[in-house]
Amino acid sequence: MRASGLVVEYNPFHNGHRFHLEKTCEIDKESVKIAVMSGDFVQRGEPAVVNRWKRAEMALKNGIDIAAELPIFYSCQSAEIFAIGAVGILNELKCNNIIFGSETSNINALKEIAEIEENAEFKNKIKEYLSNGESYPTAHSRALKELKGNDITFASNDILGLEYIKAIKYWNSSMEPLLIKREKTGYYGENIDEGFASATAIRKFLKENKDITDLVPEESFKILKEENKNNRLVYLENFYPLLRYEIIRNKDILSDIQDMEKGYENRLYEMAVKNYDFRKFYEEIVSKRFTHGRTQRVLIHILTGITQELTQRVKKEVPYIKILGFTDKGREYLNYLKKEENNKIITSMKNIKDKFSDDVRELVEFNERASLIYKMVNFYEDSKIPLMIKGK
């Protein structure tokens, strides 16, 4: 059996994601479509607008065959670690290829630049620019320009694509990277183009209670409508009381948090003490050096307890693979995989005590605690077994 891997957040699943899936089917029609999807917290450093189970349901009802969760210790990280986790899971699931959207749609150019980024000179240039106070995206762009000798501008999907290519090498995987040209709106764009809008724009429209009927497939709209009706749409500011408590309570160990920079923990503490309002707090901690994405990731790391030590630990090996749901075709593929020795797949929390070591169970429980924190703000009903959806 063949499998195609997709790295997704579906926050929420929209028309652009459906387009991506349709193109994926054109590239490899017969393959099982496996999505590794961020759980309740996503790469940009935010809680997902709706919970992991509802987003998995959207995915399965729109053409995905297997939805596997990307745990919090991978999902809410820099592009490098996010990609290492996602590609590692797809590799464990024996995917033949990974298919992702790209603004440039030039796989050879991405492969060439991925090689440059492994170069010691490039890494030293990055460190030099960072030490001069540049943000990482700016440092990256300047270092690449200096070594390539011309202006190269990459958008968000291209940057993630570079990391996927490097992660394939990192895990010594035989997966083939394949591109789909990203059309219409940009990753962070807030415009609407012929029924297409970014997830960023759609989340904004949801927050403002604007109509998104034409921007998402029918199955997604029904789920979002129901979640909105039940007050289950979640945003970062909803977590500020919990976050403020964690910053103040853990002042002396904030320096151990992943992505924390020396001295920044003091500013976070001072601003948390000073500000009762999230917007005022946030305005005073974001900066040129600490971009929105990096700032938000640090906040989620504090909220959930992701440390530098934990991050280094999960880079060594993918500890487990939790399946959120599958179709009939997906179930057939999972049964095929279960014949393999040393299988890491979790379809029920009941079997983890006998199946995994204490170290792995600790990581499973860490991810589940992160979801409990999510549920403190917006309770949802957990599923004890994977969702089972009839495939289209």
Amino acid identity of 338? Answer: K
279 in a known ligand binding site: no
7 belongs to an annotated ligand binding site: yes
Query: At which residue do the structure tokens 């998402």 appear?
Result: 216
330 annotated as ligand-binding: no
Please check if 182 is assigned to a binding site.
yes
Ligand-binding annotation for 18, yes or no, is yes
Is 157 annotated to bind ligand? yes
Single-letter amino acid code for the residue at 275: N
Instruction: Tell me if 19 is assigned to a ligand binding site.
Output: yes
15 annotated as ligand-binding: yes
Instruction: Round to the nearest angstrom and report the end-to-end CA distance of the chain.
Output: 18
Was 101 annotated as part of a binding site?
A: yes
| Coil/strand/helix, residue 3 | strand
Burial of 171 (0-12, 13-18, 19+ CB in 10 A): middle
Q: Are 279 and 46 in contact (CB under 8 A)?
A: no
Q: Give CA–CA dist 71/39, Å, rounded.
A: 6
> Do the annotations mark residue 124 as ligand-binding?
no
- To the question of whether residue 44 is assigned a binding role by annotation, the answer is no
DSSP state of 257: B
Task: Count other Cβ atoms within 10 Å, centred on residue 346.
Answer: 20
Q: Note if the bond before 47 is cis, omega within 30 degrees.
A: no
Please state, in angstroms and as integers, the Cα–Cα distance from residue 140 to each residue in 132, 143, 159, 335, following that order. Answer: 13, 5, 10, 43
292 labelled ligand-binding? no
Beta strands in the chain (DSSP E): 3-8, 32-38, 41-42, 46-47, 66-70, 97-102, 176-181, 192-193, 196-197, 321-326, 345-346, 387-388
263 annotated binding-site participant: no
Q: Nearest to residue 114, comparing CAs of 293, 106, 318? A: 106
* Residues contributing to the annotated binding site for ATP: 7-20, 101, 157, 182
* Residues contributing to the annotated binding site: 7-20, 101, 157, 182
